[in-house]
Each structure stands twice: as structure tokens, then as C-alpha cells.
Amino acid sequence: MAQDFDVHPNQIKHWRDQLLEGATGVFGDGPKAELEPVIDVKTLHAKLGELTLENDFLSGALSKAGLLPSARK
């Protein structure tokens, strides 16, 4: 098989081992993984606000120090 597809035999063994480890999950008998991760929107909004505030503060400090042009886009 390795010669037929010009692949190293160790790679085929690695793929086989991966299949044997995860085959039950692929074909439905194993535990099902969540399709979408649970997202905490409030935490994300808080983090976004925190980073925006930090960015504005640092931008102002750099502008005052003359290291950042005041006209940003």
C-alpha cells in the first residue's frame, strides 16, 4: 500500500492507529462531541470592552509621546 501511493510505511501505520483510536466516534457508537462550543456572550463583551479601553488608553499615551500619529484609521 505504501508503494502504491508513494507514502512512507510509518505514515500509513500512524493513520491506521488514528483510525483505530477514533473509529467509534466517527461511526457513532462513541460519545458524541458538542457541535458548537458553549459561548458566554457576557464574558466576551466584557473582554471586548476591557481591550477597547486598554487600546484607547495606550493609543492616547503613544500619541502624547509622539510615537503614534494622531490621525488613525
pLDDT by residue (tens digit) across 9-66? 899 999 999 888 887 777 766 556 667 778 899 999 999 999 999 999 999 999 999 8
At residue 31, what is the residue type? P
Residues in contact with 63: Cβ distance below 8 Å, sequence separation at least 6, in sequence order: 69, 70
Q: Residue 68 pLDDT > 70, yes or no?
A: yes
At residue 56, the pLDDT reads: 95
Q: Decide if 59 contacts 68 (C-beta within 8 A).
A: yes
Q: Rounded to an integer, what distance in angstroms lies between the CA atom of residue 23 and that of residue 41?
A: 34
pTM to 2 decimals? 0.43
| 56-68-65 Cα angle (round to 5) | 90
